[in-house]
Structure 1
Amino acid sequence: MFVRTENFKEFLRFYPVVSILVAIHLVLWMLIDLFQFGFAHEWLRTGIGLNTAITAGEYWRLVTPIFLHAGLGHAIFNSFSLVLFGPALEQMLGKVKFVVMYLFAGIIGNIATYLFNPDSYIPHLGASGAIFGIFGVYLYMVANRKHLIDQANSQIVMVILVLGVVMTFVRPNINILGHIGGLAGGFFIAPLVLKNARPFSVWRNRSPRNEGEISFNPNRWKKRRFSWKKVLWVIIILLVILGLFGRMT
């Protein structure tokens, strides 16, 4: 569910929304930080989350910070998290519901940031709130829709979620309200977007012919299960390292 077995072309075809979001993260980073185009810096100035500007009527700042990041490390970490945990949910919800959930969670995170300190001059930006919203939906599954997620993946979700929440509170320069608000937004919208959802299947996007070819040799499954465990632990370690040393806001 959280281990990517697709090649690059398959990933783009199977998960177009996640692919587009990652592309937006990286393209905006390149325009703003790498190439340092003047108009891109104007986007950053007018799009970054700033509570005093929202109070003055610039309400688009509740949305635009979701797509902006503070440097390459920040963009890569959020994109990496999205690639790991977004595809399964995109397949289960469908493209439209996934977009609605993602934006809703990110906006709720920014609203929470604003409501608790509307006079703040401290800027905030990043997709972290929306990504925490993804975990909010998974948390709802673990609690109330157990048929949509198996025990092994439930444990993975809970371990990563606990690590993320702990790092949110122990690291400096983190938008705590954005993370917790996004998590709550994902959890509360979950009953709506999960209606008629089906469990994730790695074979759903593939043709019957490919499925038969891949599953022909039963010995491959044993090897794959063994390698998956190692990959999952590597993913967890990478997330911890990136969370500790990467800049998150």
Structure 2
Amino acid sequence: MFARTESLGQFIRYYPVVSVIIAIHLALYLASTLPIFPNYWFFDNFAGVNLYITHGEYWRLLTPIFLHGGFTHLLFNSFSLVLFGPGLERMLGRGKFIFVYLVSGIAANFATYLLEPLTYRHVGSSGAIFGLFGYYVSIVLLRKRTMSRQDSQTIVTIAAISIVMTFLQPNINITAHLFGLLAGFLLGAATGRR
């Protein structure tokens, strides 16, 4: 489920939503480096800044999901999405996958808005990606027959390591990681009941 053996063309054809999200990540990162935009224009206008959200710039609950603070940040989040997004996109279908991804990311950013100081600034898709982990964990715990034992062990191990690393690495939005995970889990639990 998590091993990627497709060619690039096959990957794009089989997993169009994951492919589009990664393309948006790359396009925004590259655009932010172009000289036609003033320094930090994308971040000034689209990063999550709690003070600006308070003043009505509510798009900042969504747009940080697609921005990254550097190439390493972009690469790590996009790589995580390549590994863990396809299985869930195939399992849920395109529409539900988009819903889980965006709701988890927005929930993570909204929790950041509520719990962090007004001056707090953040970007990145980690909250949405943790939402995917949370959804997988709900499958492992509530619908055990949906995933193989090996895949279940893999996702629980990766989720546990990711949570531990959240607290060990500097400059991590801990609130977004935890609430993205919780949102994904709750969405998975709700879907499981239906």
TM-score > 0.5, shorter chain as reference: yes
Contact 2:32 2:41 in 1 (8 A): no
Residue identity over aligned pairs, in percent, reads 48
Contact 2:65 2:123 in 1 (8 A): yes
The CA deviation at 1:185 is: 0.6
Give the paired residue count.
Answer: 194
Write out per-residue CA displacement over residues 122-157 of structure 1, whole angstroms, 9 at most, x where no aligned residue.
210100000000000000011001111111111111
What is the aligned partner in structure 1 of residue 118 from structure 2? 120
> Which structure has the larger Rg over C-alpha atoms?
1
What is the aligned partner in structure 2 of residue 60 from structure 1? 59
- The answer on 1:178 being equivalent to 2:148 is no
The CA deviation at 1:160 is: 0.8
Task: Give the TM-score of the pair, scaled to structure 1.
Answer: 0.75
What is the aligned partner in structure 2 of residue 147 from structure 1? 145
Contact 1:93 1:193 in 2 (8 A): no
Structure 1 CA distance for aligned equivalents of residues 177 and 161 of structure 2 = 13
Contact 1:62 1:110 in 2 (8 A): yes
Write out per-residue CA displacement over residues 51-81 of structure 1, whole angstroms, 9 at most, x where no aligned residue.
1111111111000000000011101100000
Contact 2:142 2:189 in 1 (8 A): no
- The answer on 1:73 being equivalent to 2:72 is yes
Alignment CA distance shift 1:32-1:7 (3 Å): same
Alignment CA distance shift 1:194-1:100 (3 Å): farther
Contact 2:47 2:123 in 1 (8 A): yes
Contact 1:101 1:193 in 2 (8 A): no
Which runs of structure 2 are paired with 1:213-228 in the superposition (5 Å)? none
Which runs of structure 2 are paired with 1:128-207 in the superposition (5 Å)? 128-193=126-191
Alignment CA distance shift 1:14-1:55 (3 Å): same
What is the aligned partner in structure 1 of residue 84 from structure 2? 85
What is the aligned partner in structure 1 of residue 99 from structure 2? 100
- Structure 2 residue runs of 5 or longer lacking an equivalent are none
SS at match of 1:31: helix
What is the aligned partner in structure 1 of residue 11 from structure 2? 11
Alignment CA distance shift 1:25-1:112 (3 Å): same
Structure 2 CA distance for aligned equivalents of residues 154 and 29 of structure 1 = 33
The CA deviation at 1:162 is: 1.0
The CA deviation at 1:192 is: 4.2
Structure 2 CA distance for aligned equivalents of residues 102 and 40 of structure 1 = 29
The CA deviation at 1:120 is: 2.5
Q: CA RMSD in A?
A: 1.6
Contact 1:31 1:40 in 2 (8 A): no
**Deviant stretches of 4+, over 2 Å:** 39-44, 191-196
Structure 1 CA distance for aligned equivalents of residues 22 and 40 of structure 2 = 20
Alignment CA distance shift 1:98-1:195 (3 Å): farther
